[in-house]
Structure 1
Amino acid sequence: MMQEMIDWIEDHLFDDFSLMNLGNDMGYSPFYCSFKFHRMAGITIKRYIALRKIYLSSIELKQTNQKTIDIAFKYGYSSQEAFTRTFKHIFGISPNAFRKNPQPLQSYVKLNMNGIKEGFRLDISQKLKIETLQSKIAGQFDQDILNILNGQMMYEEFYTQQLMGKSDYVPFNEAMCSNDTCSTIFSDEFNKIRASGHQVSLKDYEKITINTLKPLFEKQYKCIVLWFGDDMFCQMNLLTVLAYLKQMGYKGKVYYHMVKETTYDVEETEIRLEGYKEIYEQVLIQHRIPNVQLMPVMYQGIKLYLDYLKEDNEITAYIKKHLDKSQDDLLKHLFHLFPQYGLGDVQYLRIIKTIGEA
């Protein structure tokens, strides 16, 4: 029933939405449809429709020459100004600025409730795309390149697929969206704070996180390529690495390869390091939105992070409504419904335990 509702909504995205019509076609009361959708999806129907429309509009801005005002009307906005306000609120950039300089942003794809997939396969076409990007960069910088990958899982996948050629590559094994941090990244104080937050010994933290990054600390590279996803978890890790590169005064080229971790589709963006140390401090220490222009995907990640820090957020609300589920089922649904956060089982289990004990 839930998937039928989603399919119906998608078929009527460009109509004036009517909860009454949805209920009539589903054979349930409008109230029940609204209640069931919110309970199952973790967001309201209105919010789902708004996110889907604004994401689809970003594709048209990027891929077509349609006037902005025509796109605004197509997606149900009463004026170009209303469209611009919503677009900037979601992505942190105006539609016209995005069109002139398209940058990575977090996608809002159609919900799929029919089966919760576990794992993924690397599409051969994406493997070829990654290899092409690597060849291009290797042609510019020979082999004087360091690739930093988000986490051990991505590292092992890239190792198994032999995607990095002869370039050096290391994993960033952290979860910066959780626990406290400090201003000087990878300092003794930083390592102690992070180890304490993760409830591991300093020795174990250094073994898992610091020792794997030795090439970054010990070698001079002409180019650093950052392979991170578009979710909140990855964006906070990415922000930390960018801030560290600025902290160390890195002068080489920096590229961000935004990876869709379910498909390994990849999008390349060159990064300038100016301002990232201040952004890191404002977000991860002061817990506030920076007042500077950001990549849309990082802006989205920061907003999700600040919501995630709140005691009451969409994740905790969903968990409270589904404590009757088994832990395994609840985890599967959380992974499926909130991919934009990119949280792992450790983070979710901690939240579930805290709510269960309250």
Structure 2
Amino acid sequence: MAVTIKDVAKLANVAPSTVSRVIANNPRISEKTKRKVRKAMNELGYHPNFIARSLASKSSDVLGIIMPKSGDGSFLNPFFPTVMKGLSQAAHDDRLGLQITTGITEEEIYDEVEKMVHGGRVDGLILLYSKVGDNVLNYLREANFPFVVIGKPYQYESSISHVDNDNFQAGKDVAKYLLDSGHSAIAFIGGNAELVVTIERMKGYEAALMEAGIPVRKDYVIHEDFMLEGGKEAVKRLMNLENSPTALIVADDFMSLGVLNMLDELGIDVPGDISVFSFNNVLLAELSKPPLCSVDINIESLGYQAVKLLLTRIKEPGSPAMRMIVPYELIVRSSVAKIKN
């Protein structure tokens, strides 16, 4: 005979309605009671019929995750599996599922998002990126569908819930660290110029130089994809300049790995000949040779908090948009050397 909610309630010594509320992860139920009920469910082998519950509540109990297009190799960047860890933990805490968009092109991603929204597949969506003129973001905003952005929205910042670091200040802090280390010829290697994270970090870099009375050289600012090859191409261009930089700010650790590889191929020592300061502080930064100075942006926390914000948007659709800033930390290793002017 199939185990029922009444059987679970009897074993846990609670009312059947309490079991239902635990299954729905009702915040009014104490953690102690939730643990007791879930223990009873496990002992009896009871599995809630989530499909039936979803039909009754008109809720899918699934959150959608919008990745960048896979055609540019974004899946290879360690940022995404790390942020997914935070997303998964938060979803698990609330007994929710995750559905990830798939698509090689931006058009395919857009079509997938439309199907998610119109098909009732998900209760809300999380964009793992923010860029200029994003059709997906504009569509979700016009459809008044619950969504959250990881990153600062390029437009409508006050009306879109988002989780971010203060990337402007982080870029400025890195540049100031290099300036304080005696460097004045500092170049910036950023990702796609349409990505808001690149724009913000670059603006911070430029602000630090201007405050120090150092003009920003256009040929010292290069934009490539957040990939190994992007880092290599940027180094080739910078090292061919008549007055090459003594320090590099690289907007992503994966790109920095390409930077280090190309510098090694060219026989340029880090940090003896040139210093490198990176962003994101994924495991690659610690394991690279030399270990990279990098900004720890708490990637897992970005994902975790994005889910929490989205759940608020879903449960309180009339609530104002929220902005959450996750703290960052400059992690100093051995890829930056102080120089004497």
Shorter-chain TM-score range:
0.3 to 0.5
Structure with more strand by fraction: 2
